[in-house]
Every structure is written in C-alpha cells, then in structure tokens.
Amino acid sequence: MPPRKKRTRRNPKPRPRKTRTRSFKWRKPLAVSLLVIACLSILYVIYLDWQVRSQFEGKRWAIPARVYARPLELYEGKLLSAQQLERQLVLMGYRIQYSPKTAGSYSREGKRFLIHSRRFQFWDGVEPERIVEVVLDRQSVSSITDDKTNTSIDLLRLEPMHIGGIYPLHKEDRILIQLAQAPKNLLTALLVIEDRRFYDHYGVDPKAIARALWTNVRAGKTVQGGSTLTQQLVKNFFLSNERTLWRKANEAIMSVLLDFHYDKNEILEAYLNEIYLGQDGGRAIHGFGLASQFYFGKNVEKLELSEMATLVALIRGPNYYHPIRAPKRLIARRNLIIEKLAEEKIIQPWQARMASRKTLGLQTYASRGANYYPAFIELVRRQLRKEYDEKDLQSEGLKIFTTLDPWVQDQAEIALQKTVQQLKPTTRSGAVLQGAVLVSSTTDGEVYAIVGDRQPRYTGFNRALDAVRPVGSLIKPAVYLTALSNKDEFNPATLLEDKAVRLLGPDKKTWAPENFDRKTHGNVPLFESLTRSYNLATVNLGLKVGFEPIQETLKRLGVEQNIPPYPSMLLGAVGMSPIDVMQMYHTYASGGFRSPLRSIQSVMTANGKPLQRFPLQVKQVVDAKLIHQLNTILRRVVTDGTARQLNHWVGKDIVIAGKTGTTNDLRDSWFAGFSGRHLAVVWMGNDQNKSTGLTGSSGAMRVWANMFQHIETQDLSLSDMPGLDYQYIDHHNGFVAEESCDRAVRLPFFPAQVPTQVSGCK
C-alpha cells in the first residue's frame, strides 16, 4: 500500500484590503477565515482531483499489449492428429457448426475438417479469411484445399491464439478486459446489486447512502453499503480499509470528480479491471478477467450465470465470502443475487433455479480450457524488457507474437499434474512435491512451453525460471565433452578408473563421494561410465581434465553463472535453474550450435508496423563431430543406461538422447532429453529442499515420458558423420569387438583414436 501523501497546508496570505468600515469590523475576521477555508478547500479539491485523475489515467490510458501464441501452420505432410487440430481450433475460439458459414467456425467429419478461418494481419503479411478443407491421414495433413476455388493450398496459417494482455513494463499480473468483452448478464448483475443508478448519478448516490444508513441504524451495525461503483473504484485505487468519515468524504469528492471528468463506460471498464476479488498467497486478484481465470479457469466471456453471480457476490468481501473457507456463505449470497436477477425479470425463473442448484464449480487443477500461461508470459515479460527498447514498449496496444505452442504446453501441464498425482504416495517427507517443465525446439532456441508450478495457472514462484537447484549428474556431459575435446588423450573407449576418491574440500572437510550403488567398478570405458552415470569415474576424469577447461566448456555451452572450481562441481553441486539447464542442453541438442532461448518471434505496433525483431541466431561453439560422439553416448543412456525405461514409458520407438540427474538424499529429480525436434527439461523436488524419494528416472523422466506420449516428434539424427570412423566396442573393457558380440556397442572415433586392442568377444 502506498503511503498516503500528507496534505499540504499552506496558508494563503489574504490580500490586504484597503477599505475599512468600522460598522463591519466584527465581520472581518469571519470573512477572512471563510476566505481561508474556501481557498484551502479549493486547493484541497484540486489536489484530490490531481490525485484521482493520475490514478485513473495510469490505469485507463494504457492499452495493454496483446500476446499471441505461435500460429498453427498447416501444410501437406505436417505431423498433426485430428484430436490435436480440433483442440487447437477450440483454443482459438472456433465454434463447431454444421456448415461453417461464419469466420471462426469449423465442421468435422472424422479426419476431414472444413475450417472457416479468420483474417489476420501478421508480421510479414495478411492471411485472408477463407474456407478450407483440411484432410488428415493417420498422424499428418494429407491435403488442404480452398473450398471456393477447389484449388490446393500450399500453406495455410491460422490466426494465432490470444494468450493474454500485458503491460510490458509493469510487473503486475492482470488479465485486462474491455467493456465489450464482459457478458451482459455480468454487467447487469453488477449494476443491480452494487449500483442501480450508476448511469444516472454524479459519482455518489445520496439516496443509496440514506437507505444504507437507515438499514444500518435499524440493524445496529453496518450491513449495507451505499457506495457507488465509482466510489468503490476510488477506494480500490488507494487500497485502504479504514472506515473513517474523513476517508468517506474524500472518496465521495474524488468520485464526483472522476464522474465529472470521464465517461460512465470508461469508469465501468476501469472498475471491471480494478476491483479486488480475492487473494492467492501473496498475489492480489484484481479484476474480473483474472478472477474468472483464477476461480473458474476460463475467459470472462465464457462464464456461466452462476459463476457471474459468484464473482459479483465476492465484491462485498472476498475474505468474508471466501470460496474455500466459507463456501456456504458465498453460495447463499450468490443465490440471493440470482434471485434478485429473476425478480427483476432479467433472467427466467427456471434459469435462476438451475443456476442456484449448481456448486461453486471452482476450477480443479485438472480442469482444462484455460488459455492462460503465467509461467510462459513471465519469460516473455523478462525478454521484452531485456531485448527491446523501453520507449518502444511504452507505445499502446503492441502485438507480441510468441513461440508458445499451445498443444505442447497443454501436454506439459497435463504430464506434470498427472505424474505428481501418480507419485504422491511415494513421497516421504510430507513436503509438497513440485515440478517445472520446459520444452523447446532443438534447432533455433524457440521455447514451446513452460510450466512453473504443479498448478500451472498459479502465478506464484516460477520454478522453471527461478528455482536454482543443484543439477546433479546433468552436469556430467559437460565434463565428458571437455575430455573428448582433448582428442589425443580421450576417446569414447578410453578406460577411466572408477575407484574411491578422498579429497579435501574448500571447507577443509574431506569429500568422499560414492556411486549411486555404493560400489566401485574398476576400469570402465568412458562411454560406459557416462551411460551408467558413475560418480567416481567422473570425479577421477574431471580431476585429470582440470576445472578450468570444464568451466570453459560450460561457458561455451551457454551457462552464464560462475561455476566454482571445487571437485563437488564435477557431480553437479552447482545451482542452476531449469531454464539454465535447458540453455546448456540446447547446445547438445542442436549439434554444437548455441542459440539464445527465445520466447518472442516479433513485436508489432497497434497499427501493424513491425518493431525490431528478435532474430534467429546460431553460433557454432563446439565441433559437430565432438557433439556427435557425446550424443551417441547420451543416446545410449536411453537405450542401456539410467534412462532405459524411457522409450517403454513413451510407448513409441523414437530415437531420443538424454541424461538423468539425482541429487543428494534424493532432493532433486532431473531429466533432460531431446529428439530431433524437441528438447525438454524437467525438474521435480520441493520448495523445502527435502527428500522427495525420487531419482531422476523415477520422477522427472516420468513427466518427460508422459508428455511425449502425446507430442509428435522426430528421431534424433545420429547418422554416420564423414570424418569419423565407426567401430564396435566391448562395453566391458573398451576393446574392439565383433559386431555379433552381445556386449558390442558401435561408437564414433576420430581416425587416430580407433582402439587397436581386440576384446575377443564374438
């Protein structure tokens, strides 16, 4: 709450008067004091006027930026299921019709869709409104035809889904709505219940005050308020609950002033976006837009009668009528409002009966249909502030085109929720199991989806961006990559010593790491050590390679923070957020090219003029052949190593590479994995940093698998590279083996690296 400014009391000097009339002498002091009071009052009113107007202008004149998801591009051969297409159409607000006559509708007959698309002005041109027939085949688009001309269409881009309105430079989270968006019944209910004469009064309503006073005096306590919507709005601007007469007077004056300056509809719109409707932890829920998402998980346009009445009921006191703590009280008030609407003949009696019988219908975490992605929007906000000029962002009504893929985002949310529910019984510590998911493209750094909380509509702590946790074994590929880049000394088959290590840590304590199975494995080939995530072999390797080269590798991969040169770093005693991890793994997934992760494709001004773009950038930071060696091993992690359950869980035979990560006492469960098209990083743990009882594969990897059951992706390409020689190696001893040997693994080597010793395994 902003501290109230002290009123300035300056005594305006009364002008000396020349006329002196004795008979009126006694009147002079009175006149002077009246004049002073009048002057002060005028000054005070001017001050109030300035205050209330600046508040109102601040809210009123900024038209929020509209944020869009990536548009759905349809072309022959695009991987897309009928379910996926329909879901996206529904999310974009397309209605199913028998024959799609209006823009924004579609019909469906099995795998044949008739879509009446809407016109949309994109960054690079206009997509016209048209009716197209889209036919799917198994899991992809088989034809797109213009229904009118019956010609085939090469490329159809549907308008992007609107995923929110933001003030790019403000930190507050609000879903702004325009008056025209508000359902008629909601407005009517609001006016009938809160301020019947809104369109007739001058900001205050003496009749209503008198009535409220009478009711309150009779009841002996405050039961009714006589505040107009304007007064409530003013009260919300200054956020104070004091009920002093002085405050009331101030409110009344400011309301009259507001009413004088602005149109009723402008005031009403500001009210809809400003009114306080509840609390979510540290976050205040202001406005009907956010409240409908928060309570019901839907856009305000889609509210049902009972839900509108619930929101109107909450205005009186979101705490007193708390939906969880006092549901009965809230339902009673809601039904009172519904009754009133029926009395006034705004709704039919049967509608009232139906609506009154409903439960509150608060959104459950599994509820669907919301196109509100707070965790993703948060990244958009941060990148806007970082990448764009502040003065550009101040212009009104910007259009922000993001990289969000609504289908992938859906799957990420569902997978995290589903997995949390599946795993709940095995969580020991009583702390709430939390998680974060990020999905991106493997080639260009475009972020498709972000989930920052097991309840994805919550805007609290965004774990995907801000939960800095030890990454455990996820660091290991960087250690092995550093070794492999020393081609003379290390190759995929080089033998490493998996034996006990004792070291003096920076805190003068001895550090004696162990393998997960608490055993030592003697001499193991390098690739096998990474596949099985052996700690001791990794530490011995890291000590040989040296901290500095590893720090250097991490930097090149895109890790920005300083990694301390302590031995425990080799096992991932390094705090990173999931998005930092994703930046690092993106370089592996893209074959050694680093691209900054992007959530924004482009920004356009309200009248369609493009602002600067956030272009596709790639920089080769690691030799493609080295990455190929590394990825071949990371692939083996999935076929034979710590992630070998993955393909079975995904239920598809896709080529994926990845790495599991588990930290001490099972506090953090990580999995980072990539196919040819998608990279996804999952973290699970709890905010109390207690044990979850989960390893990387039993927790985070399950989320990954659940998610990719429903995402069409492509094989990671590991085809033979020119300049490398391929050899079968016995994974027991790192020696050359026959192809038929059941321990043989085919590995890539630089020509001078190919081992010569023969294992004898056939």
Interacting span for another protein (CB under 8 A) from 14-22, 29-37, 50-58, 619-627: 619-627
DSSP 363: P
Phi, psi of 634 (to 5 degrees): -65, -30
Closest approach, Cβ 141 to another protein, in A, equals 10
Among 40, 49, 76, 487, binds another protein (CB under 8 A): 76
Closest approach, Cβ 613 to another protein, in A, equals 6
User: Please, which of residues 645-664 interact with another protein by CB under 8 A?
Assistant: none
Contact between 160 and another protein per CB under 8 A: no
Residue 375 structure tokens: 């965790």
Contact between 618 and another protein per CB under 8 A: yes
| Residue 27, burial from CB neighbour count under 10 angstroms (0-12, 13-18, 19+) | exposed
Closest approach, Cβ 155 to another protein, in A, equals 4
Contact between 624 and another protein per CB under 8 A: yes
Phi, psi of 370 (to 5 degrees): -90, 135
Interacting span for another protein (CB under 8 A) from 44-52, 109-117, 122-130, 469-477: 122-130
What is the rounded distance in angstroms from the CA atom of residue 356 to the CA atom of residue 390?
49
Contact between 717 and another protein per CB under 8 A: yes
Interacting span for another protein (CB under 8 A) from 104-112, 118-126, 178-186, 339-347: 118-126
Contact between 444 and another protein per CB under 8 A: yes
- Residue labelled with tokens 């002085």: 246
Interacting span for another protein (CB under 8 A) from 490-498, 536-544, 588-596, 634-642: 588-596
Which is closer to another protein, CB of 722 or CB of 751? 722
Cα four-point dihedral sign 196, 201, 203, 206: negative
Which is closer to another protein, CB of 124 or CB of 739? 124
Interacting span for another protein (CB under 8 A) from 38-46, 205-213, 299-307, 615-623: 615-623
Contact between 715 and another protein per CB under 8 A: no
Strand partners, 67: 164, 400
Contact between 558 and another protein per CB under 8 A: no
Residues 6+ apart with CB under 8 A from 317: none
Contact between 442 and another protein per CB under 8 A: yes
Contact between 224 and another protein per CB under 8 A: no
What is the rounded distance in angstroms from the CA atom of residue 723 to the CA atom of residue 750?
7
Strand-strand pairing, 95-96 and 105-109: parallel
Residue 716 structure tokens: 């990671």
Answer whether 256's CB lies under 8 Å from 204's CB: yes
Among 48, 67, 69, 78, binds another protein (CB under 8 A): 78
Contact between 128 and another protein per CB under 8 A: no
Contact between 147 and another protein per CB under 8 A: no
What is the rounded distance in angstroms from the CA atom of residue 291 to the CA atom of residue 704?
31
Sequence-ordered alpha helix ranges (H) in 620-762 = 624-639, 646-650, 700-708
Contact between 38 and another protein per CB under 8 A: no
Report the chain's C-alpha Rg in angstroms.
33
Which is closer to another protein, CB of 446 or CB of 528? 446
Which is closer to another protein, CB of 467 or CB of 654? 654
Closest approach, Cβ 75 to another protein, in A, equals 4
What is the rounded distance in angstroms from the CA atom of residue 144 to the CA atom of residue 326?
53
- Alpha-carbon 373 to chain mean position: 4
Closest approach, Cβ 378 to another protein, in A, equals 23
Contact between 674 and another protein per CB under 8 A: no
Among 183, 592, 685, 734, binds another protein (CB under 8 A): 592
Contact between 593 and another protein per CB under 8 A: yes
Answer whether 198's CB lies under 8 Å from 259's CB: no
Contact between 125 and another protein per CB under 8 A: yes
Answer whether 498's CB lies under 8 Å from 536's CB: yes
Which is closer to another protein, CB of 154 or CB of 263? 154
Residues 6+ apart with CB under 8 A from 705: 645, 646, 649, 650
Answer whether 696's CB lies under 8 Å from 669's CB: yes
Interacting span for another protein (CB under 8 A) from 88-96, 123-131, 218-226, 339-347: 123-131
Three-state DSSP class for 519?
Answer: coil
Amino acid, res. 43: L
Among 116, 454, 457, 677, binds another protein (CB under 8 A): 677
Contact between 613 and another protein per CB under 8 A: yes
| Residue 301, burial from CB neighbour count under 10 angstroms (0-12, 13-18, 19+) | middle
Interacting span for another protein (CB under 8 A) from 41-49, 130-138, 322-330, 440-448: 440-448
Among 128, 282, 430, 722, binds another protein (CB under 8 A): 722
Residues 6+ apart with CB under 8 A from 620: 592, 593, 594
Which is closer to another protein, CB of 717 or CB of 757? 717
Contact between 77 and another protein per CB under 8 A: yes
Answer whether 266's CB lies under 8 Å from 229's CB: no
Among 610, 648, 715, 726, binds another protein (CB under 8 A): 610
What is the rounded distance in angstroms from the CA atom of residue 442 to the CA atom of residue 618?
11
Contact between 591 and another protein per CB under 8 A: yes
Among 222, 620, 688, 709, binds another protein (CB under 8 A): 620
Three-state DSSP class for 525?
Answer: strand
E-strand stretches of 272-398: 276-280, 283-286
Contact between 16 and another protein per CB under 8 A: no
Angle at 442 between CA 478 and CA 706, to 5 degrees: 95
Answer whether 239's CB lies under 8 Å from 1's CB: yes
Which is closer to another protein, CB of 235 or CB of 594? 594
What is the rounded distance in angstroms from the CA atom of residue 282 to the CA atom of residue 1?
13
Among 57, 73, 396, 514, binds another protein (CB under 8 A): 73
Residue 338 structure tokens: 């519904």
CA-based diameter of the chain, in Å? 131
Which is closer to another protein, CB of 80 or CB of 341? 80
Contact between 123 and another protein per CB under 8 A: yes
Contact between 399 and another protein per CB under 8 A: no
| Residue 435, burial from CB neighbour count under 10 angstroms (0-12, 13-18, 19+) | buried
Q: Supply the residues annotated as catalytic.
A: 194, 473
Which is closer to another protein, CB of 306 or CB of 590? 590
What is the rounded distance in angstroms from the CA atom of residue 76 to the CA atom of residue 575?
44
SS3 content of the chain, % helix, strand, coil (to 5): 40, 20, 45
Contact between 14 and another protein per CB under 8 A: no
Three-state DSSP class for 447?
Answer: strand
Interacting span for another protein (CB under 8 A) from 13-21, 166-174, 476-484, 614-622: 614-622
Contact between 750 and another protein per CB under 8 A: no
Total residues contacting another protein (rule CB under 8 A)?
A: 33
Contact between 626 and another protein per CB under 8 A: no
| Residue 460, burial from CB neighbour count under 10 angstroms (0-12, 13-18, 19+) | middle
Closest approach, Cβ 618 to another protein, in A, equals 4
Contact between 446 and another protein per CB under 8 A: yes
Among 8, 109, 124, 128, binds another protein (CB under 8 A): 124
Residue 579 structure tokens: 């998005």
Contact between 751 and another protein per CB under 8 A: no
Which is closer to another protein, CB of 292 or CB of 601? 601
Interacting span for another protein (CB under 8 A) from 57-65, 106-114, 522-530, 610-618: 610-618
Residues in contact with another protein by CB under 8 A are 73, 75-78, 123-125, 154-155, 441-444, 446, 591-593, 601-602, 610, 613, 615-620, 624, 676-677, 717, 722
